[in-house]
Amino acid sequence: MLDLPKFKAAAVQASPVFLNVDATVDKACSIIAEAASNGASLVAFPEVFVAGYPYWNWIMTPVQGSKWYEKLYVNSITVPGPEVDRICKAAKEHNCHVVIGVNERGQSFGELYNTNLIIDNHGVVVGKHRKLVPTWAEKLTWTGGDGSSLKVYNTEIGPIGTLACGENTNTLARFALLAQGELIHIANYISLPV
């Protein structure tokens, strides 16, 4: 029988400061502090919390949406990078594991990924998962990831894996994580405006 630690998880139900990376990272750090003060050892954020979801892809033509894509690109982050450092500092300061969705700039101009970062309670990015196949209109914004990020990360609270949104319905992606001993699964979805 497995002897696993018990812990409290915080499922963040908040919206980013839309297309404002600095304000969104500040908000994420505040949420981490609040969750930790309420006993959370794991804080799970929505898909692409930093700094927003490209809603325009569903309601505008690609030409109409291009100005919004530019704003999203400017407010995306690099991994590693200064915004990630701030989130890692908050995770370490509050002794929390954090899984957070970000818009990650790739190495080529215009290359953007829907990425989940896995940060341990020591403030170290232990892994990142890039969404394998952007869903429908999301392909206008994000580059597809590859299977190299279908990994489980051993942490002090247990083995953590993550998938973004529609990937959670992909049986083979889920199996790849389960086969590696995943016990904690973060299935993050977009934060919809209400």
Residue 131: active-site member: yes
Residue 165: active-site member: yes
Single out the residue of 54, 52, 53, 45 nearest to residue 14, CA to CA: 45
Question: C-alpha angle with apex 159: 157 to 165, nearest 5 degrees?
Answer: 110
Annotated active-site residue in 83, 96, 104, 131: 131
Please provide the DSSP assignment of 28-72 as one string: HHHHHHHHHHTTEEEEEPPTTTBT---GGGGTS-HHHHHHHHHHH
Residue 47: active-site member: yes
Annotated active-site residue in 138, 165, 167, 182: 165
CB 189, CB 154: distance < 8 Å: no
Q: In whole angstroms, what is the distance from residue 163 CA to residue 92 CA?
A: 23
Q: Catalytic residues, which ones?
A: 47, 131, 165
